Chains A and B, each alone.
Chain A
Amino acid sequence: MEEINALFHGFSVALSPFNLMLMFIGVILGVIIGVLPGLGGANGIAILLPLTFTMPPTSAIIMLSCIYWGALFGGAITSILFNIPGEPWSVATTFDGYPMAQQGRAGEALTAAFTSSFIGAFVAVVMITFLAPLIAKLALKFGSPEFFSVYFLTFCSFIGMGKGSPWKTLAAMMLGFALACVGMDNMTGQQRLNFGSMELVRGFDFLIAVIGLFGIGEILISMEEGLAFSGSSARIDPKIVIETWKKLPKYWMTSMRSCLVGCWMGITPGGATPASFMSYGIAKRMSPNGAKFGTGQIEGVIAPETAAHAAGTSALLPMLSLGIPGSPTAAVLLGGLLIWGLQPGPLLFVEKKDFVWGLIASMYLGNIAGLIIVLTCVPLFAAILRIPFSIIAPVIIVICAIGAYTVHNAIFEVWLMLAFGVVGYVFKKLDYPMAPMVLALVLGKGAEDSFRNAIKGSQGDFSVFFANGLVGSIMTLGLVMLLWPLVNKLRGK
């Protein structure tokens, strides 16, 4: 019960009025950062890092981790309201969240998203509290073959989900991969497929593509249907939170499963993005309503949000105990630790007890503070949809343009975003599925790099993907997922 004592000591550290104030400021800043695409969690924290030098390290990390929470919560807002995911891990939330908002159920979707995020993060924090040293070792087992197997599993759990033409699905997914290839080849340091253009060396950033495909594309579709965002009739009623809560317990299985997927992916460190996609894919397979996913199912919001947050939170564990960041944001936080003179690593838990337990306690408190803040604001967020289209549309386009610009500080990317907008509009009308395309764009490069690294390490020996129990079982699980639809079909006949 040493942990409990340490935790309570941590609470006493974190609960000073100054730290509490920082917590609230952090959450609110985080929500703003999460809402504005381009100022994602990693960027946001990197930007604010220097401002925290004047604070004691514990206060600074509390504030930064609260920004992290806020950004995690905030990412869901634009995904649900405008189909614009501000962070890679909110992409899967748009699949059902946005249709829900269109049906006038934005409040419900937001509540479900925030609550699931909270549950995911909470479970992960509990796990960090009690199992930290034990679980941290698991991350060490991950070499390149293991990383590839995780990517493989993510793709497999997502494949075969579309209903449209399989050829279009294939073309869209491969287009995602192809775009991911443009720029630098990490393995050889060679420029490729940029046709000599300096602008294209940057490659196609996920955020630009998604803002364009989903956000701008959606505005064009809305335009075509007349000047309105559907769903503007959203009910704005604080009671919506309670009503949604009454529905949530039904989906405890989805939550549990997503927590597991999330925690596991966060620790290993696959990260929040694969976790959210994988969790969505698995929920679709397992749920009795699976076939209706994509039309505004509440489970389709619960699954990715729970997993993304469980992963985002447990990603802090390998960072603290091993010094490897499980996510880009964690990487920047790691830099912060170094600057404050704290060395993340196995000894941090021994030498800087105050700091570590203060941080863990702040995870509990920050998460609760975050939930309270965002839930109170649900009616407010939902009310954004009531703003007339001719005001909100240009504002969204301005925010998207800023987001696209800040990714690489280049105006070219803003043009690219517009181009993706047109592509998104055309693809949507012709039933080219965009989810596989975005998935491939987000994870394509990681998958290729880890595959090639594994093969180079083993000098061309493919058995490396089944060389030990861990990688072997993940690969097998992936194959099972891949063949699942086939099995189902056979069973059905």
Chain B
Amino acid sequence: MNSEQKPEAGDRPVVSNRTMEIVVAGLLLLLGLTFGIASYNLGAGWSEDGPQSGYFPFYINLMIVIASAVTLMQAIRSKTPRPREAFVSTGQLRQIMAVLIPAAVYVLGVQLFGIYLASAVYITVFMVWLGKYSWGKSLALGVTISVAVYFMFEIWFKVSLHKGSWFDPLSLFGL
């Protein structure tokens, strides 16, 4: 593996596999319960027309509840694989957040300023920040991709992409 950047030393585990198993199984249990109750309220019975709207979802969610309850028990009793090992370490978490947070900011940018400006900025910043490329190169690539996407979707395929709910930069060009 020729990684460009090794995870930093001094890694500490953030959360163990066991804790994470418990959290995930718990969340699934909760989801199953919420959906199950909602389906029950819809009518989970058998009407003259066959199963009602809530019939399938109800039993499906019942199975989620059972399956996640069992997993939860197993996790609490440390019966799941590698319970003591770290689910994620500080270094790893930092790496992941370095992608996830900009991605979230990017989506917010898409929502506010439309897909074209947000994409150009996102690609540029990502390249400069994580890839250590020069601003010139990064900007050139970011803008090129954004313009190419514009032509491909808006002009060629006639697909209208998101324009920005707060401010539409394309309006500056009279588009």
Contacts and interface: CB of A to CB of B under 8 A. Distances in A.
A224 B88 contact: yes
B170 interface: no
Interface string A197-211: 000000000000000
A406 to B, nearest CB: 6
A220 interface: yes
Interface in B99-142: 99-100, 103-104, 106-107, 110-111, 115, 119, 122-123, 126-127, 130-133, 141
Given A47-B157, A394-B123, A398-B145, A227 B3 contact: yes
The interface residues of chain B, by DSSP majority, are classed as helix
Given A175-B28, A228-B3, A405-B161, A398 B63 contact: no
Nearest to A33: B157
A141 B63 CA distance: 34
Given A390-B4, A397-B103, A406 B68 contact: no
Contact-size category for A: 35 or more
Nearest to B129: A390
Given A227-B130, A388-B4, A398-B145, A188 B123 contact: no
Interface in A375-422: 388-391, 393-395, 397-398, 401-402, 405-406, 409, 411, 414-415, 418, 421-422
Interface in A207-235: 216, 219-220, 223-228, 230, 232-233
Contacts of B53: 185, 187-188, 190, 192
Contacts, number: 199
Given A226-B3, A456-B49, A174 B87 contact: no
A171 B6 CA distance: 35
A44 interface: yes
A223 B42 contact: no
Nearest to A455: B50
B95 A223 contact: yes
A304 B126 CA distance: 36
A167 B67 contact: yes
Contacts of B28: 171, 175
B110 A224 contact: no
Interface in A438-473: 448, 451-452, 455-456, 459-460
Contact of B141 (A177, A391, A421): A391
Nearest to A388: B131
Given A171-B67, A174-B67, A44 B157 contact: yes
A402 B161 contact: yes
B84 interface: no
A145 B42 CA distance: 25
A127 interface: no
A411 B113 CA distance: 12
A178 interface: yes
Interface residues of B, number: 77
Contact of A226 (B6, B20, B63, B152): B6
Nearest to A425: B96
A380 B160 CA distance: 30
Interface in A58-80: none
A193 interface: yes
Nearest to B132: A390
A138 interface: no
A454 to B, nearest CB: 8
A430 B51 contact: no
Nearest to A423: B24
Contact of B67 (A170, A228, A414): A170
A413 to B, nearest CB: 10
22 contacts: A39-B157, A165-B71, A167-B71, A168-B71, A170-B66, A171-B67, A175-B28, A193-B42, A223-B98, A227-B3, A228-B3, A390-B131, A390-B132, A393-B126, A395-B123, A401-B110, A411-B110, A414-B110, A430-B17, A452-B51, A459-B48, A460-B46
Given A47-B159, A48-B157, 11 more contacts: A170-B63, A174-B64, A178-B61, A195-B38, A391-B133, A397-B106, A398-B123, A402-B115, A402-B161, A415-B107, A430-B24
Interface of A: 32, 39, 44, 47-48, 165, 167-168, 170-171, 174-175, 177-178, 181, 185, 187-188, 190, 192-193, 195, 216, 219-220, 223-228, 230, 232-233, 388-391, 393-395, 397-398, 401-402, 405-406, 409, 411, 414-415, 418, 421-422, 425-427, 429-432, 448, 451-452, 455-456, 459-460
